[in-house]
Structure 1
Amino acid sequence: MRERIPHEIAASVMAATTAFVGGTTLNLPPWAIFISWAGLHLMGSPSLANAKRLWAAMPVGSTFAAAIVLVDQHLGPHAGSSRIAQDALLAVIILVLNSALMYTGRLRLTSLVPGMFLGFASFFATFFGGFGYHAGSVWAAWVSVVAMNALGPVYAYLANRLTFAVPDPAPAPASAEPVTAR
């Protein structure tokens, strides 16, 4: 396929629109679009099959990350005020829930483990970065990051479509006349 508009331009136009998506009063994390957009390209050429795998995996990772925050918020006050006790509790929570996340990767629907970790990291960045329609809310961060991660494959698809690619011209057929030696 031959691109009539360079992919660099089409992708940059799409990237520029994230300023309007994230710059709303909902305080959405526009960078979460780029995380899943890049994730889709890391899987190969953007396709619906790859997008579905990513759409299935990323919210699972975000859910496990949200669970870590919720469990830590619930149990943290019971660990005492020492930093080492707080860190030890968090380490145990991460150990247990991250192990569960990794085992979830054995299921066919959620077998894209890197995709789950993209969602996992996206949630933490959203929550601890103060993004979401209600900063500091685990649920608002989860909804916001899942929605924005879901847009990444859409952006990847649209960036490819905006190149207005056309099929390469077919090569000229070889001449049927025999070549004679002189």
Structure 2
Amino acid sequence: MKKLPAEVVASLLAITTVLIALPPYHLPPWAIFISWAATFAMGGPTPENLRKIWPTLPVGSLFAFLIVLCFRQASTQFTGASFIVAQMVILFCLNGSMMFLARVFPALSFIPGMFFGFASYFATLFGGFGPVPHDPVAALGAVIAMNALGPAYAWLKERYSAPEGAKKPWQGWQQEA
């Protein structure tokens, strides 16, 4: 099978995100791009890298979800400076717990993956993405699904693209200087 230029494959994959963002689900397409780019930032979609990133993305999203729920509960109990302190304690405890998992479970050792999932969740929830805008549970499902697609898109891009160092079609007719 003849492989296509990387730009063509990546662009064909990118246009599918337009459909993903359409109602009624209004899924966060940029969550795909975040985890897709993260996969290449860690060296590409090798089996080892995929085993590192896929488990950590939803862990980060889950902890962000817990932070949102705890902040909401704290907002019913505290106001003013005490609410700010409560948020700081919640964030410290949950963020530290999330990172501690990487120390205890080798499968979760790719901490940047957790933070990609973490940031993707907040952007999904506060950006109003998902089938129910601003719903914490709907945002969690939406972001986990879309973050999972990013490494798959990275793999597809590599699978169907010609090697990036390959001779370009226009190089045959260029004059040498």
* Same topology, TM > 0.5: yes
The two structures have a TM-score, normalised by structure 2, of 0.86
Structure 1 segments of 4+ aligned residues over 6 angstroms from their partners: none
Task: Please give the alpha-carbon distance, in whole angstroms, between the structure 1 residues aligned to 2:155 and 2:129.
Answer: 26
Aligned to 2:83: 86
Instruction: Supply the AA of the counterpart residue of 2:70.
Output: V
Instruction: Supply the AA of the counterpart residue of 1:120.
Output: F
Task: Please give the alpha-carbon distance, in whole angstroms, between the structure 1 residues aligned to 2:161 and 2:70.
Answer: 46
Task: Please give the alpha-carbon distance, in whole angstroms, between the structure 1 residues aligned to 2:47 and 2:21.
Answer: 24
Secondary structure of 1:109's aligned partner: helix
What is the count of residue pairs matched by the alignment? 165
The two structures have a TM-score, normalised by structure 1, of 0.84
Instruction: Supply the AA of the counterpart residue of 1:121.
Output: A
Task: Please give the alpha-carbon distance, in whole angstroms, between the structure 2 residues aligned to 1:47 and 1:138.
Answer: 32
Task: Please give the alpha-carbon distance, in whole angstroms, between the structure 1 residues aligned to 2:101 and 2:32.
Answer: 24
Secondary structure of 2:109's aligned partner: coil
Aligned to 1:102: 99
Task: Please give the alpha-carbon distance, in whole angstroms, between the structure 1 residues aligned to 2:115 and 2:131.
Answer: 23
Does structure 1 retain, via aligned residues, the 8 Å contact 2:74–2:83? no
Secondary structure of 1:105's aligned partner: helix
Gaps of 5+ in 2: 167-177
Seq. identity, %: 43
Aligned to 1:163: 161
Task: Please give the alpha-carbon distance, in whole angstroms, between the structure 1 residues aligned to 2:130 and 2:82.
Answer: 30
Deviation at 1:91, TM superposition (A): 1.1
After the TM superposition, which of the residue ranges 85-94 and 99-108 deviates more from structure 2? 85-94
Q: Residue 123 of structure 2 is aligned with which of 122, 125, 131?
A: 125
> Higher helix fraction: Structure 1 or Structure 2?
2
Matches within 5 A, 1:1-182: 4-80=3-79, 82=80, 84-106=81-103, 107-164=105-162
Does structure 1 retain, via aligned residues, the 8 Å contact 2:56–2:108? yes
- Bigger CA radius of gyration: 1
Deviation at 1:164, TM superposition (A): 4.9
Gaps of 5+ in 1: 169-182
